[in-house]
Amino acid sequence: MDRIRIVGGHALNGSIPISGAKNATLPLMIASLLTEDDLTLENVPDLADVALLKRILANHGVDYSVAGKRRGESVHAGETLTLRAKAIVDTTAPYDLVSRMRASFWVIGPLLARMHEARVSLPGGCAIGTRPVDFFLTGLEALGAEIDIDAGYVVARAPGGLRGGALRLPQPSVGATHTLMMAATLTRGDTLIENAAREPEVRDLAECLVKMGAMIEGAGTSTIQISGRDRLNGAVHEVLPDRIEAGTYAMAVAATGGDVLLQGARADLLTAALDALAGTGVEVTSTEGGVRIRRNGSGVDPVSVSTAPFPGFPTDLQAQFMALMTGARGTSEIRETIFENRFMHVQELARLGADIRLDGQVATIRGVSRLRGAPVMATDLRASVSLVIGGLAAEGETLVNRVYHLDRGFERLEGKLSACGAEIERLRA
């Protein structure tokens, strides 16, 4: 397995291009199941999760192609991916594929809407908590589906097709919102989703679905209304920039010091995290080209945060912010409210010399003057990048093991950081 070697203590200076958002790309790709026409997505990041979803969709009968480089384009501009679900030949999403990426469970919505049946493996346990699918199932039932669980599979049927319905999510789940919104676009009747997730990726998906002919109002707010259609058509859609990638690099610069322009990042998608960073004393400026993060020689002040659904502080930046707080001038508290077991990075950050006490869902972090490099183990996507941030700030060498977690969600991580002066390299297995 590949490892990443970092020699810490270098400031970051320069600019980092922000890729298309992983968490928008995945549902957008799944939306291709709703139409027999071409869906072309621009600015698609080159990530392991995207590659896996291509395989999963191909198993349902989706053809895909990637456009080659165009004149004047940089090699690293996002991919242009065209998906075509002319005929869906298989409505089963098997365990060996779904168990590797939870978001692939979301195919259940479009498959059921278009084919009136779907057999999708339960995603199974996950490193960051139990992550059940109950909201999806009751939501699909509200749209007229019959649901059975058989041998680890959700078997969903809607003889005669889904109909509209009204439902209220017990909690604003991103995945359930994506899935139910997609399903409701191809129904007979109107659907109302209350307490919907308000994440920018939900709005991005809705914008694409509207281009495909769907009728959706309110995406991006907690009440979404959808009027079902008989069929949807193809569309061309550009994926929005990855706010989590942008926030991650912002925290890396805050931790090491330096001056970096996060090219293409949108401050309006990242207000809570940028406010927290500004509170630590880091200079945050929103410019036309992106977001600029600057910290001179002085350290950072402690800031306490609590994760919350959008527009609150994102759980996907909790580990990275904790890595930053390990070097703060004082004590901070980080409360995780979305997932019950999302503190696996704590033990690994401790290996770098961090002083963190865990009490249920609250971590108390006492800033230390210097972290020291050590071998550490990545456990999930966001936790692993917090170890990279720790390593960049630490004295000496850090070896991050199990970096396949990073490859799921960060495009060219070592390239982007080393272009700004970091000493970081991948050691191939």
Closest CB to ligand UD1 among 168 and 426? Answer: 168
CA angle 221, 222, 226 (to 5 degrees): 85
How far CA 144 is from CA of 16, 228, 344, 346, in Å, comes to 47, 13, 39, 44
Longest dimension (CA), the chain: 66
285 binds ligand UD1 (CB under 6 A): no
269 binds ligand UD1 (CB under 6 A): no
- Cβ neighbours of 294 (radius 10 Å): 16
- Cβ neighbours of 61 (radius 10 Å): 15
Closest CB to ligand UD1 among 7 and 147? Answer: 147
Which one of residues 4, 62, 98, 176 is an interface residue with ligand UD1 (CB under 6 A)? Answer: 176
333-347 core/surface letters (b: 16 or more CB in 10 A; e: else): bbebebbeebbbbbe
Which one of residues 5, 54, 131, 351 is an interface residue with ligand UD1 (CB under 6 A)? Answer: 131
C-beta of 9: minimal distance to ligand UD1 in Å? 30
Which one of residues 64, 136, 321, 410 is an interface residue with ligand UD1 (CB under 6 A)? Answer: 136
Which one of residues 19, 23, 92, 191 is an interface residue with ligand UD1 (CB under 6 A)? Answer: 23
| Distance, CA of 107 to CA of 130 (rounded, Å) | 20
Which one of residues 14, 125, 132, 330 is an interface residue with ligand UD1 (CB under 6 A)? Answer: 132
Evaluate whether 85 touches 32 at the Cβ level (below 8 Å): yes
410 binds ligand UD1 (CB under 6 A): no
| Distance, CA of 211 to CA of 213 (rounded, Å) | 5
Among the listed residues 122, 126, 215, 278, the single catalytic one is: 126
133 binds ligand UD1 (CB under 6 A): yes
Q: Near ligand UD1 by CB under 6 A, which window of 67-75, 166-174, 294-302, 410-418?
A: 166-174
242 binds ligand UD1 (CB under 6 A): no
C-beta of 167: minimal distance to ligand UD1 in Å? 12
Near ligand UD1 in 328-347, by CB under 6 A:
338-339
Task: Write out the DSSP string of 128-157.
Answer: TB----HHHHHHHHHTT-EEEEETTEEEEE
Q: Near ligand UD1 by CB under 6 A, which window of 72-80, 132-140, 204-212, 371-379?
A: 132-140
Evaluate whether 402 touches 429 at the Cβ level (below 8 Å): no
| Cβ contacts of 347 within 8 Å, gap of 6 or more | none
In what side-by-side order are the strands of the sheet with 258-263?
12-17, 258-263, 290-295, 283-287
420 included as an active-site residue? no
Evaluate whether 80 touches 67 at the Cβ level (below 8 Å): yes
Which one of residues 43, 82, 173, 195 is an interface residue with ligand UD1 (CB under 6 A)? Answer: 173
Closest CB to ligand UD1 among 38 and 316? Answer: 316
Which one of residues 19, 91, 92, 315 is an interface residue with ligand UD1 (CB under 6 A)? Answer: 315
Q: Where are the alpha helices (DSSP H) in 124-242?
A: 134-142, 174-185, 200-211
103 binds ligand UD1 (CB under 6 A): yes
Give the interface with ligand UD1 as residue ranges (CB under 6 A). Answer: 23, 26, 102-103, 129, 131-136, 171, 173-176, 197, 315-316, 338-339
Query: Catalytic amino acids?
Result: 126
